[in-house]
Chain A
Amino acid sequence: MSPRRRDMTIRSFREGDEQVLARLFNAYVGDFLGPIRLTPKAWRAQFKRRNWTGPSLTDDSDCCRIAEAGGRVLGYALTDYQPLWREDTAVVQELCAVDESGAEDVMQALLADAEQRTLERGKSCLVLGLSPEDGLSAGAAVSRGYEERQETEVFMVLIVDLSGFLEEIAPALSARLAESPLGDWRGSVKILSGDKSSGLFCGDGSVAVGPAPDEPDVTLTVRPEALPLLLLGRETIGELYVQDAVSLTAADAAEALSLLDALFPRLPLFFPRAQWW
């Protein structure tokens, strides 16, 4: 039995629900690497008609189940009961809950509901196409007896333009620096990776991007295969440092590592299947 708030009910999707579901989706995936933020119209458009990335809510509103209490939406689960790759399997593609206490219980209840519906549709296995790095849904999954296994699908990236990329994430770099103990650090960082180079200039609580400086305070050399891992927050500077995937030149190496740790923190990855291309 799943734990459940006494006043919580679970119902199927109704047209118009996309207003609140898109808001919930955007809030839930806010800290992740990957997901594209969606307007209600764009969220709904993903599930207009069945395609290889997901179900059609137009044809089968049961694919999206919504948990609510007192007329307020607490969370939802979106499940594909006919994935192309395994006939005996259903896939939960999205599982989002309002960020408040009891969120994991809401997710557990939604998973229990999806399991029941999976069995009713003659399927023997339910797969969570979610992020294993999302503590909330991963916790709900463990509580309901899910086991992790190897996935064959993989998302691969290549940094095409190092300076352009850093300029795009400059607002995030500034916010991360401001929130760190090194918020008032002033100086420059030279980043070298293969034939790419760029510079970060920190000061006045913000980070600007420019050409690689000639006399930087910190020089970071990154192996090309490690560059996306660092910039996208898949591995921290410390993890890459011990693997010899990066090297560092600085007057105070410990401070430089702390600075780079603050600028490039680990980010959980989640690419909802509906957003695959």
Chain B
Amino acid sequence: MPSESEITFGPRRSDGWRKVSANVAGKDVSHLYYGPAKVHVGRHAAVTMGCIGGVGTDKQHRRKGLARRVFSGAVAAMKGEGYTVAGLFTSRRLVAHRLYRRFGLVDVSSGRIACKVLDPAALARRGLSSLVQQSPELGRRRLALRLCFERSRTVCLKIEGNDVSVLSRAPRGVDLSLTMSHTTFLGLLDSSIGLSHALGAKLVQWSGDAGAFETLANAIAGRLRPVDEE
């Protein structure tokens, strides 16, 4: 229970960082660290930012409001110490992101990044290999796949016995043909895009064996687990 916890502040290290923790029965069960940085706001000014990191709560002590108490304690201390703004880096895939928004933190980055696929065949083979490793069902299938990346050459691959290989030429019979951009393929692999969303938005088009597609879709869906560790 929150009422049984005590918020404590650790000593300031030589680099200005300190730990704030919630202790239950003398044990640190929820904490964060903060430290200073002069962050520039354009050419003429800099602000004193409290950089927050190392946020975590023991699994058995989650959903008790401890992280909020630690965060509120840290923000109050920061204000007293001359910090005017607090900031942290996190991932939109983390449950913690939603928690931070409830604490009043606001996303300020654009959420976009540029990338270029230099070797589509290697990317396709590595991507499918990682899927096969995580999905025994996909690994058990024998599949000939054609991946058509927009603005780039087509890559033909074979999945057989948990192994993925790039074929130098298109086989006679292809079980499954998929057309998508590199960025969509990367998004599916790192779970930033869900397959159903990609299909709905027509980012992915496919033709061929429906069973093979379902197996592949299940393998991709298996990667879409929210991460709640922070």
Contact = CB atoms under 8 A, between A and B. Distances in A.
A79 B136 CA distance: 36
Interface stretch (A145-153, A180-188, A247-255): A145-153
Contacts of B101: 156
A50 interface: no
B24 interface: no
A80 to B, nearest CB: 14
Contacts of A232: 41, 108
Most buried by B among A141, A144, A160, A276: A160
Interface stretch (A2-10, A16-24, A26-34): A26-34
A30 B43 contact: yes
Interface residues of B, number: 65
A148 B112 contact: yes
A147 B78 contact: no
Q: Which has the most chain B C-beta neighbours within 10 Å: A89, A127, A149, A164?
A: A149
Q: Which of A33, A125, A144, A145 has the most CB of B within 10 A?
A: A125
B4 interface: no
A170 B44 CA distance: 9
Contacts of A216: none
B106 interface: yes
Interface in A256-277: 267, 269, 271, 275-277
Contacts of A225: 104, 106
A163 to B, nearest CB: 9
Contact of B115 (A147, A154, A169): A147
Contacts of A145: 116, 151
A148 B117 contact: no
A30 B53 CA distance: 26
Contact of A154 (B44, B47, B107, B151): B107
B37 A119 contact: no
A245 B112 CA distance: 23
Interface string B172-195: 000000000111001100101100
Contact of A119 (B41, B86, B97, B119): B119
Contacts of B113: 127-129, 132, 148-151
Contact of A160 (B41, B78, B91): B78
Contacts of B151: 145
B212 interface: no
B104 A32 contact: no
A149 B112 contact: yes
Interface stretch (B120-128, B140-148, B157-165, B214-222): B120-128
Contacts of A170: 45
B43 A31 contact: yes
A36 interface: yes
A74 B5 CA distance: 57
Contacts of A210: none
Max count, chain B CB within 10 A of own CB: residue among A32, A129, A161, A225: A161
Given A125-B117, A155-B107, A232-B108, 13 more contacts: A124-B120, A125-B186, A141-B114, A145-B116, A145-B151, A151-B111, A152-B192, A153-B89, A157-B105, A158-B103, A165-B85, A227-B106, A228-B108
Interface of B: 35, 37-51, 53, 75, 78-79, 82-93, 97, 100-101, 103-120, 122-123, 126, 151, 181-183, 186-187, 190, 192-193
